Structure 1
Amino acid sequence: MSQRRILITGATGGLGIALVREALKRGHAVRATGRSQAAVEALTSLGAQFVRADLTHPEADFHGLLKGADSVIHAAALSASWGPRRAFEIHNIRMTEQLLEAASRSGVERFVFVSSPSIFAAYRDRIAIGEHDGPALQPLNHYARTKLAAERSVLAQREDALACCAIRPRALVGPGDRVILPKLAELAGRERMPLPRGGRGLIELTDLRDAAWAICAAEERAVGLAGKAINISGGSPIRVREVAGKLADALGKTPQLVSLPVGLARAIAVLSENAALLMRSAREPMLTRYKLATLAYSQTFDLEPAQRLLGYRPHHDALATLLAEARQLATQEKQP
């Protein structure tokens, strides 16, 4: 295996650190970039070169970051289920297109885009989503809409030699998770934990380490994967209600799990979003249409394409990872 020089964006997040670790493990040289200084020591101690940069800044030095790079793994994004349209367009569409163009001009050979399964979120169960299944007809939030637009830019037919592909990792959990555990922990901390449709929807959690393995495998095989998007998950579907119960136990909480009719939940979500928009609130409403779709309805992946194209098989129990993180969080909260 030849050593390559890989630029990893969004490297200070949970997935970013896992990507840096995996790429270094495979023998590559890594230039890591992100806006936060919090993870600098961890990244440099691993052996990565860290360059602090805000890629949304009008004067961002894309070419300086890409100097000497053979590959790009683009994990930087605005990953949230609520916020202003313009912010998502800047972070997820414009930043990706600028980086893609700069990579082409700099002679980069491979570009792996970390996309999102949010593009499939809908008010219906979607089981064993395959490589030829399309996204939801109507994206449920700005995040899903802009990630889909960015993915399409990355996967569009190219006239240069840049080999581009995308990986869509599902429900990431592990150290540095700022989405799944914090939101579920907030719900579990209430007296009553409402579960749309009784929590019977299926979710597939994915350990950050498995996702990082798949993304780095895609970087290695990018030339043969050009134009393809591959769905990744932990491969173990579990009911939302079961996750909620186990998580509450791990956190030392005892909420009453309450079944919420989906019609009522949808009305609450629409009203909550409209109220937040009217008040110009930056705070995410308690229930959004997107959150409802992810909690109430099943979304699972057919992993055969990932196995065939990447040699991917999950090696970590993502639910066990989530519960371990929850126990650690509970311990931290007890400390004075």
Structure 2
Amino acid sequence: MRALVTGGGGFLGSAIVRQLVARGDQVVSFSRGDYPHLAVLGAEQRRGDLSDLEALKAAAKGCDTVFHVAAKAGIWGDYQEYYQANVVGTENVIAACRLLSIDRLVYTGSPSVVFDGSDVEGGNELLPYPAHFEAPYPQTKAIAEQAVLAANSLELATVSLRPHLIWGPGDNHLVPRIVAKARAGKLRKIGSRPCLVDTVYVENAAEAHLNAADRLVFDAPPAGKAYFITNGEPLPLWEMVNRILAAAGLPPVTRSVSPGVAYAAGTVCETLWKALRLSGEPPMTRFVARELSTAHWFDVSNARSDLGYQPRISIDEGLKLLQASFKVAK
């Protein structure tokens, strides 16, 4: 396999590159920067933006598989910026695949595309897209995912994977955010219900992508479908958060606010940030308030049967590796 990995310098992208190289595949990473750790692995690096179709084509030339991992993620921001990165960028990836006769496209989606603000308990891929989204990230990821799945054809087989809350050593998003808020004394539980939440260790998420690519042809089960990817070990949200904090050597979160108060605070913050055009992210949004006060766990049996997905690293094992990485960082 010769594969293009968009966002190859990111957290999940790097894990995918690492696993591809380890098994002998040729890899081209397409990112906006240069990453020394990818050079050490021996991956070819191409710089560019997803908005630049010609740059994408140049990077993907000679590849037979594309892993489209790059995206604009976040809880706040201008809708058009998310649309340009997540929708237009994905449309360009699809176009590059078609123009270069690349026959496999593995897209990194998000479970947030089916979140309607209510509990998801054992949800499977039959869950519909909601009629309304409270943030631009899930909305634009849903549009992009639908474009990817609609592009599935005899010439280009496509699949979307929806890894939920990816974490592990090297995480530059979820774990650092939790740790930073805890150290600043700004982390609060939302609600008192023991809402179960799924997560996925980064190496498991990466391996699912390779499994999908290996099984992806037009008439195979994965073609044109989306799959939830998790560790299959749902835990109460704040238990998982506290275990991450323990790995970082920090005390557990004990203080809490009600979901109603958190949602009201999110509404006020969003109004102020828009009216005053404040920079950065608000300390709370409606989307985050709902995310942190509801259950999110998924049935991954379809990924197991169609992709051969089997998470190799358990949460307990992953937390030990995470703790070791914190010690090394000190």
C-alpha distance in structure 2 between counterparts of 1:325 and 1:167, whole Å: 24
Q: Provide closer, same or farther for how the CA distance between residues 131 and 211 of structure 1 changes in structure 2, counting only shifts above 3 A.
A: same
- Structure 1 residues 192-231: aligned runs within 5 Å: 193-198=187-192, 200-223=194-217, 224=220, 225-231=222-228
Q: Does 1:170 align with 2:160?
A: no
Which residue matches 2:281? Answer: 284
Which residue matches 1:44? Answer: 39
**Deviation digits for residues 13-32 of structure 1 (CA, Å, limit 9, x no counterpart):** 01111001112233321111
Q: Does 1:265 align with 2:262?
A: yes
8 Å CA contact 2:196, 2:295 repeated in 1 = yes
C-alpha distance in structure 2 between counterparts of 1:139 and 1:166, whole Å: 20
1:329 Cα deviation from its structure 2 partner? 4.0
C-alpha distance in structure 1 between counterparts of 2:151 and 2:48, whole Å: 29
8 Å CA contact 2:5, 2:30 repeated in 1 = yes
1:246 Cα deviation from its structure 2 partner? 2.4
Task: List runs of 5+ in structure 1 lacking aligned partners.
Answer: none
Q: Does 1:306 align with 2:309?
A: no
User: What is the percent sequence identity of the aligned residues?
Assistant: 29
Among 224, 231, 235, the residue aligned to 2:232? 235
C-alpha distance in structure 1 between counterparts of 2:93 and 2:169, whole Å: 27
C-alpha distance in structure 2 between counterparts of 1:8 and 1:69, whole Å: 10
SS in 2 for 1:257: coil
C-alpha distance in structure 2 between counterparts of 1:298 and 1:103, whole Å: 37
Q: Does 1:84 align with 2:78?
A: yes
C-alpha distance in structure 2 between counterparts of 1:256 and 1:170, whole Å: 22
Which residue matches 1:126? Answer: 120
C-alpha distance in structure 2 between counterparts of 1:327 and 1:201, whole Å: 28
Which amino acid is the alignment partner of residue 307 of structure 2? L
* Of 127-136 and 252-261, the range deviating more from structure 2: 252-261
C-alpha distance in structure 1 between counterparts of 2:44 and 2:193, whole Å: 44
- Structure 1 residues 115-194: aligned runs within 5 Å: 115-156=109-150, 158=152, 161-191=155-185, 193-194=187-188
1:125 Cα deviation from its structure 2 partner? 1.1
Q: Does 1:25 align with 2:50?
A: no
TM-score by length of 2: 0.92
C-alpha distance in structure 1 between counterparts of 2:194 and 2:186, whole Å: 17
Which residue matches 2:91? Answer: 97
C-alpha distance in structure 2 between counterparts of 1:323 and 1:202, whole Å: 21
C-alpha distance in structure 1 between counterparts of 2:204 and 2:298, whole Å: 15
**RMSD, aligned α-carbons:** 2.0
1:108 Cα deviation from its structure 2 partner? 0.4
Among 53, 63, 69, the residue aligned to 2:63? 69
C-alpha distance in structure 2 between counterparts of 1:55 and 1:156, whole Å: 20
1:313 Cα deviation from its structure 2 partner? 1.2
1:171 Cα deviation from its structure 2 partner? 0.4
C-alpha distance in structure 1 between counterparts of 2:19 and 2:3, whole Å: 12
TM-score by length of 1: 0.91
Q: Does 1:107 align with 2:104?
A: no
C-alpha distance in structure 2 between counterparts of 1:153 and 1:291, whole Å: 26
Which residue matches 2:51? Answer: 56
8 Å CA contact 1:121, 1:140 repeated in 2 = no
C-alpha distance in structure 2 between counterparts of 1:87 and 1:323, whole Å: 37
C-alpha distance in structure 1 between counterparts of 2:293 and 2:4, whole Å: 37
1:138 Cα deviation from its structure 2 partner? 1.7
Which amino acid is the alignment partner of residue 235 of structure 2? I
Which amino acid is the alignment partner of residue 252 of structure 1? G
1:236 Cα deviation from its structure 2 partner? 0.7
Which amino acid is the alignment partner of residue 302 of structure 1? D
